[in-house]
Structure 1
Amino acid sequence: MLSSIGIHSLPPSLHSLDISGCKSLESIPFEQGLPSLCKLDIRRCPQLSSLPSGLEYCTSLQDLTISDCEMLSSIGIHGLPPSLHSLGINGCNSLESIPSLENLTHLRKLEIVDCHGLKNLPGGLKTLTSLKELEIGGFWKELDSFPPFEVIPQLESLMLRGWPTLQSLPENVQHLTSLTHLEIRHFDGMESLPEWLGNLASLQSLRIWRCKNLKYLPTAEAMKCLTKLKKVYIADCPVLKERCNKKSGPEWHKISHIPTIELGGRLVSNGNSQLSEVASDQIHGGFGCCIWAWEQLSRVLGWVLH
């Protein structure tokens, strides 16, 4: 059974390496390094307890992903090359801490998700001036609040994954004023989104997934402060979906001005188009319905032109 990989047998010109499903693999030595390696994926290696040694010699490495390595308990960040642009760590449940990332100055995307032993986020995030995308969450389920993390002023995309004991979003999200995309998942203990969401003046897209007890959006005043918000997606949030019903939902007026609204996989008109929900129902009915939709669209265009 394979317990170690001899990197010395690999060609130095190798650009991409995928190590997957090696159930007995315990170590991956990179003593000589692979100077041309740009991408390294390590997946489903349940006996691997630490990152490959010698990764600092892989001076061209830009993309590193470690996922579903149950025994991974330590990450020596100072052994990683500063050339990294993307770092993904997910499904590593023995991992309890991650050292500071301050030396990864070229990092643009960071993912730390579903590491159920993790209680804290790494330091040094505010020094990562190239970081644009951050996906974090799914940590130790006994935590009753999201671990604090440093504000990253230039961050553009944030995905937060919660767990059942959480009742609110992390407060420092309100200071991410460059954020254009926010995704919120699995906050089952949360009943309302915070009023400070209206501070995210650059926000263009808001996704809310699998928050089964979520009832309330911020007030209409706060939502109208999001003047750049163009898309709202709500999926697998049964209570909120019902409350955002266009005909009778008490939350509908808070989002009715937003151009694109999707509830439970269904595109909902915001009322500015005569082609509304009826056309979206009929469009799946076959060729005849396509003709009907075209006729309705022609009428709309006629009204606009006149």
Structure 2
Amino acid sequence: MSMTVKGNKYLSCFAAGLTTLHKLSLESQDGNETLSFQPWESLNELFLGNYNSIVPVGAKEGEQSITPTKCQSLEISKVFPSNTSLWFWKCFTFLNSLCIKNWDSLIYWPEEVFSFLNCLEHINVIECPNFLGSKLESTVGTSITEVLLPKLQCLLIDNCPNLVEIPKCSLSIQELDIQCCSKLHYLPEWLGNMVALKWLKIWECESFNTLPLSMGDLARLESLLIIGCPNLAYLPEGMEGLKALKQLSMRECPKIRALPEGLLQQVKNLNQLWIEDCPHLERHFRKYGKYRHLISEIQLTNVGEESTSNLLKDLVLAFPSCKNTCFSARS
């Protein structure tokens, strides 16, 4: 059973009495309402939108212990149950997917909140204009930070224009997807510790200019997509360690003049190669270019206007986007 309630607090109270709900969407009409919240045992997917604040049903905040829900997917838009509302997050200890959208009050990676969410596998942070990322010094200490989100597999950060520091991730993460973050300049050196990482995408980050030297430690990396980064002028040495790399896409990075020797060693082992709007690289990979001999065995190639297939479609299908994990309880 699914239910959508928009702008009617009485219906919201009615929904709280239903015991067979599996999918629920609650949204304030004007953004001035307070949501009286209690978990539903049967609930699997929940969307909360545009509330001024969230308080527990029947008690003031902190006065009531709430039984955790078995909810797997939570999307919250334009409302932020802050660190002082830890009772709320304790309801979601079984949560698998979290989508945070349009939180103006989200500034730093909420480590204290995430300390309760040990089952999380997918996190999407979308259109949070004031989100800066991690603090320079962790508020909970290095030892705790290292064990936060022990099951996290996928992190998407999309359209957060003030992001400057990627949050430190669990060693279990397999996909890191950063899109439209105009102030992000670099990925940190600790990225090389993410030994389970399989997919890395940097998309439309106009200030981005540095990949870490530790990139070569990502021995399980299968897909590397760098698109729309006009200030990226070089890739680091040491990338011969990318033994599992099968997909490489470099697009709209006009300052890159060449690939490092270590990465060139892996090119002949690729299944898919896409080079576009990178004029120096395109010249090297075209007929008579110095890299041309490396691509004769690659199944799918797109170099400028030269293409062996509809590579755009193939690459999109091959790259598992975190966005697909962000459910919509409103659908």
TM-score over 0.5 for the pair: yes
Instruction: Assess if the C-alpha contact under 8 Å between 1:87 and 1:109 holds in 2.
Output: yes
Distance across 2 between alignment mates of 1:239 and 1:146: 24
Instruction: Assess if the C-alpha contact under 8 Å between 1:77 and 1:99 holds in 2.
Output: no
1:64: Cα distance to partner? 0.3
Alignment equivalent of 1:131, drawn from 152, 155, 158 = 152
Alignment correspondent of 1:105? 118
Higher relative contact order (CA 8 A, sep 6+): 2
1:181: Cα distance to partner? 1.2
Counterpart residue type for residue 213 of structure 1: N
Distance across 1 between alignment mates of 2:148 and 2:31: 37
SS class of match (1:196): helix
Q: Does 1:239 align with 2:239?
A: no
Q: Does 1:62 align with 2:72?
A: yes
Alignment correspondent of 1:9? 14
Q: Does 1:79 align with 2:88?
A: yes
Aligned pairs (5 A) from 1:180-195: 180-195=198-213
Alignment correspondent of 1:50? 53
Q: What TM-score results when the alignment is normalised by the length of structure 2? A: 0.66
Q: Does 1:225 align with 2:241?
A: yes
Q: Does 1:179 align with 2:182?
A: no
Structure 1 residues 196 and 276, CA gap change in structure 2 (3 angstroms): closer
Alignment correspondent of 1:272? 297
Instruction: Assess if the C-alpha contact under 8 Å between 1:137 and 1:161 holds in 2.
Output: yes
Distance across 2 between alignment mates of 1:195 and 1:62: 37
1:176: Cα distance to partner? 0.7
Q: Does 1:146 align with 2:165?
A: yes
Distance across 2 between alignment mates of 1:109 and 1:42: 18
Distance across 2 between alignment mates of 1:79 and 1:283: 49
SS class of match (2:47): strand
1:230: Cα distance to partner? 0.6
Distance across 2 between alignment mates of 1:234 and 1:270: 15
Distance across 2 between alignment mates of 1:275 and 1:49: 50
User: Greater CA deviation, 7-16 or 92-101?
Assistant: 92-101
User: Greater CA deviation, 73-82 or 174-183?
Assistant: 73-82
Distance across 1 between alignment mates of 2:68 and 2:190: 35
Instruction: Assess if the C-alpha contact under 8 Å between 2:274 and 2:302 holds in 1.
Output: no
Alignment correspondent of 2:280? none
Unaligned residue ranges in structure 2 (runs of 5+): 1-5, 58-64, 278-284, 286-293, 311-331
Instruction: Assess if the C-alpha contact under 8 Å between 2:175 and 2:199 holds in 1.
Output: yes
Counterpart residue type for residue 232 of structure 1: L
1:20: Cα distance to partner? 5.0
Instruction: Assess if the C-alpha contact under 8 Å between 1:85 and 1:107 holds in 2.
Output: yes
SS class of match (1:272): coil
Distance across 1 between alignment mates of 2:216 and 2:248: 14
Structure 1 residues 12 and 25, CA gap change in structure 2 (3 angstroms): farther
Instruction: Assess if the C-alpha contact under 8 Å between 1:2 and 1:25 holds in 2.
Output: no
- Indicate the structure (1 or 2) with the bigger Cα radius of gyration: 1
> Alignment RMSD, CA only?
3.7
Q: What TM-score results when the alignment is normalised by the length of structure 1? A: 0.71
Counterpart residue type for residue 95 of structure 2: L
Q: Render the CA deviation track for 1:254-291: whole Å, top value 9, x for unaligned.
A: 453233112349xx99221599769975879xxxxxxx
Distance across 2 between alignment mates of 1:116 and 1:160: 14
Structure 1 residues 19 and 232, CA gap change in structure 2 (3 angstroms): farther
Distance across 2 between alignment mates of 1:194 and 1:158: 14
Structure 1 residues 226 and 60, CA gap change in structure 2 (3 angstroms): same
1:147: Cα distance to partner? 5.4
Structure 1 residues 127 and 282, CA gap change in structure 2 (3 angstroms): closer
Distance across 1 between alignment mates of 2:302 and 2:7: 57
Q: Render the CA deviation track for 1:27-48: whole Å, top value 9, x for unaligned.
A: 22224x32111101234x2xx2
SS class of match (1:127): coil
1:227: Cα distance to partner? 0.4
Distance across 1 between alignment mates of 2:54 and 2:225: 33
Counterpart residue type for residue 4 of structure 1: K
State, as a whole percentage, how many aligned pairs show the same letter. Answer: 23
Distance across 1 between alignment mates of 2:206 and 2:170: 26
Distance across 1 between alignment mates of 2:306 and 2:166: 42
Structure 1 residues 147 and 51, CA gap change in structure 2 (3 angstroms): farther
User: Greater CA deviation, 120-129 or 85-94?
Assistant: 120-129
Distance across 1 between alignment mates of 2:12 and 2:177: 35
Alignment equivalent of 2:218, drawn from 196, 200, 215 = 200
Alignment equivalent of 2:104, drawn from 77, 93, 115 = 93
Counterpart residue type for residue 79 of structure 1: F
